[in-house]
A and B are shown apart, each in its own frame.
Chain A
Amino acid sequence: MRLENKVSIVTGASKGIGKTIAEMFAIHGSKVSICSRSSSEKEGTKVVEEIVEKGGEAIYTTADVSNYDDVEKLVKNTLDQWGCIDILVNNAGIGMLKSIENTSTNEWKNIMENNVESIFNCTKIVIPHMRKNGGGSIINLASVASYVGFADDAAYCASKGGVLMLTRQTALDYSKENIRVNAICPGFIETPELIHYLSQTENPALEREKVIAYHPIGRIGSTEEVANVALFFASDESSFVTGADLAVDGGLLTKP
């Protein structure tokens, strides 16, 4: 029970990495407040039901975290339920595969709003409550695209680079109040998004081999392997770690 009695918010937790983080935190004793946008409300509610069935505590809020008012609602629901917030996992985000020329201004704004402004919203609204609580841990989902560019991926790479820098900067401003801020940078992970992406390609099996070949370890990562990092950052085991970024990428970044 590495998170006993802690209260966590996990955004974008209806599926994929966010869902696994919420489930793992609950197993380790955390009360978990999750959200997703209305289009995946059903899946999000189911995540909560399953956590509760297994004896955990969880609540669900329909919230688009790129919308400031929605985030206020999410935080209010969490506080109404448990009275404090110890951990914030800024997981919600979206992808898009387009070069800069093929990206419309609206598409650019959409990626930035969902991947960066969402973290701005959640962090800004949660920090006063963490301060009141004597500290906390904020975990941002960045990407290997925070370090290296990927082809036809302009807005996404820019947004994830922004997440990494926002992490370092926020850590600097709030460390004195015992609020730690760290980033997780996953490589390719077996998520519904990845499966969807592969299915859209001409030859999904070949494309999967290509993706696997990015990783010296010879496979795609699991959502559990990312959630393990979140658990480390969320727990007191990482109490001397802030402003840091941890890649979980099967060695992708060691490639020339």
Chain B
Amino acid sequence: MRLKNKTALITGAAQGQGEAVAKRFSKENCNLILVDKNIKKLQEVNDSINQNGGSSVCYQVDVTNHNNVKNLFDKIKSGFDNINILYNNAGVYDLNDAPTGELEIKKFDKIVEINLKGVFLFCHYFIPILIQNKNSVILNVGSVASYAGDMNAHAYAASKGSMLAFTRSIANYYGKYGLRANVICPGFIDTPMVETFMNDMNIKNQIINSTMLGRFGTPDDVASLALFLASDEASFITGSNYVVDGGLIK
């Protein structure tokens, strides 16, 4: 039981990586607070966890909406004064993202709002709770696009690149409070977010051939790394970023 007596707040938990992480954490005895914009799907994940002996509550939250996040904080701050893990999974890869010259300003704003401002809002509100406990941890989700340039999705790359510097800053400042902060950088993971790639055999094969291990990752591959970094096993790990990308060939 690697997360016994811990409580995790996970955003974007209705599907894909967020869902896999929630279920994995639950298996390790972690209490869960799940949030997502899509409350119907989130409720299903929440029910399934509780039916399997887990302990989970869920709330509808749009991570870009300041009032939503503040309301969530007001609602749960008294009931859950022992949140140890904040997993900022909510994020978007937008098919209308584009090279900078052609990218609509509105689209850029929207992507950065979800991928960066959403993460900031959750850190801003929940760090005061996290630092009440020793050994708390923030896990942010970057991408292999945090390192390499992206041919097409410039807003996505900018927002995911920002996770590295933002997270390092949190780690640097809040280390003295015993708060750790790290970034998980997945490669191509088989989730609804990359469905379009999966359906195009050409793109799919291209991606598979670009990984050393010759496959897409599974949400569970990400969950394994998340579990390690969230647990006390990673108690000396902070300010770092870790790829789970099957060895992306440069």
A247 touches B237 (CB 8 A): yes
- Most B CB atoms within 10 A — which of A178, A222, A247? A247
Binds A, one of B63-71, B72-80, B96-104, B227-235: B227-235
Q: Which residues from chain A contact B246 at a C-beta distance below 8 Å?
A: 240-242
How far does the alpha carbon of A156 sit from the alpha carbon of B22 in the complex, in Å?
A: 42
| B242 beta carbon closer than 8 Å to chain A | yes
CA distance A247 to B237 in the complex (A): 7
Is B225 a contact partner of A241 (Cβ separation < 8 A)? yes
Whether a CB of chain A sits under 8 angstroms from the CB of B203 is no
- Which of B224, B236, B239 lies in contact with A253, CB distance below 8 A? B239
Which residue on A lies nearest to B241, using beta carbons? A247
A155 within 8 A of B: no
Which chain B residues numbered 168 to 217 have a C-beta less than 8 Å away from chain A? 168-169, 171-173, 175-176, 178, 180, 187, 212-215, 217
Bitwise interface map of A from 206 to 232 toward B, beta carbon under 8 Å scored 1, else 0: 000000000111100110011011011
Whether A240 touches B240, Cβ cut-off 8 Å, given contacts A172-B212, A228-B233, A250-B175, is no
Residues of A within 8 A of B236 (CB): 187, 217, 221-222, 225-226, 248-250
- B186: nearest residue on chain A (CB-CB)? A240
Residues of chain B within 8 A (CB-CB) of A252 are 239
Rounded to whole angstroms, the CA-CA distance of A178 and B224 in the bound complex is 18
Q: Tell me, in angstroms, the Cα distance from A83 to B237 when the chains sit together.
A: 35
- A239 in the interface, Cβ–Cβ < 8 Å? yes
A240 pairs with B169, CB closer than 8 A: no
B142-181 interface code vs A (CB 8 A; 1 in, 0 out): 0000000000000000000000000011011101101010
List of A residues within 8 angstroms of B94 by Cβ:
none
Q: Is the CB of B218 within 8 A of A216?
A: no
Interface residues of A in 234-256 (CB under 8 A from B): 237-244, 246-255
Count contacts between A and B, CB distance < 8 Å: 121
Report the Cα distance A231→B2, complex, angstroms.
14
Return the contact of B224 from the options A238, A249, A250 (Cβ within 8 A).
A238
* Tally of chain B residues near chain A (CB < 8 A): 36
CB < 8 Å neighbour of A255 from B172, B180, B217, B242 = B172
Contact of A216 with B247 in the complex, beta carbons under 8 Å = no
B59 CB to nearest chain A CB (Å) = 30
Most buried by A among B180, B214, B239: B239
Q: Bound state CA distance, A221 and B235, in angstroms? A: 9
Which of chain A's residues has its CB closest to B165's CB? A254
A175 part of interface (Cβ distance < 8 Å): yes
Give CA–CA (A250, B225) in the complex, Å.
Answer: 18
Q: Contacts of A254 on B, CB cut-off 8 Å?
A: 168-169, 171-172, 238-239
Q: How far is the CA of A176 from the CA of B217 in the complex (A)?
A: 15
Assess whether A217 is in contact with B221, with CB atoms less than 8 Å apart: no
CB distance A240 to B237 under 8 Å? no
Separation in Å of the A221 CB from the closest CB of chain B?
4
> What number of A residues sit within 8 Å (CB to CB) of B?
37
Contact between chains at B213 and A175 (CB < 8 Å): yes
A187: shortest Cβ distance to chain B, in Å?
A: 7
B-contacting residues, A142-180, CB 8 Å? 171-172, 175-176, 178, 180
A238 in contact with B225 given A218-B175, A248-B237 (CB within 8 Å): yes
Known: A217-B178, A240-B245. A251 touches B239 (CB 8 A): yes
Partner of A242, one of B169, B175, B224, B247: B247
Does B171 contact A228, Cβ atoms closer than 8 Å? no
Q: Are B238 and A250 touching (Cβ within 8 A)?
A: yes
B240 to A, closest residue via Cβ: A247
| A243-B247 contact, Cβ under 8 Å, with A251-B172, A253-B239 | yes
Please determine whether A244 and B243 come into contact, CB atoms closer than 8 angstroms: yes
How far, in whole Å, are A226 and B236 apart by their CA atoms in the complex?
8
Contact between B221 and A253, CB atoms less than 8 A apart: no
Q: Mind listing 24 A-B residue pairs with CB under 8 Å?
A: A171-B212, A171-B247, A172-B212, A180-B213, A216-B175, A216-B238, A217-B178, A217-B238, A218-B176, A237-B227, A238-B224, A240-B187, A240-B221, A240-B246, A242-B247, A243-B212, A243-B247, A244-B244, A248-B236, A249-B236, A249-B237, A249-B239, A253-B168, A253-B240
Chain B residues at the A interface, C-beta cutoff of 8 Å? 168-169, 171-173, 175-176, 178, 180, 187, 212-215, 217-218, 221, 224-225, 227-228, 233-240, 242-247, 249
The list of the 8 closest CB pairs from A to B, nearest first, reads: A216-B175, A175-B212, A254-B239, A240-B221, A225-B236, A237-B224, A228-B233, A221-B236
- Residues in A lying within 8 Å of B, measured CB to CB: 171-172, 175-176, 178, 180, 187, 215-218, 221-222, 225-226, 228-229, 231-232, 237-244, 246-255
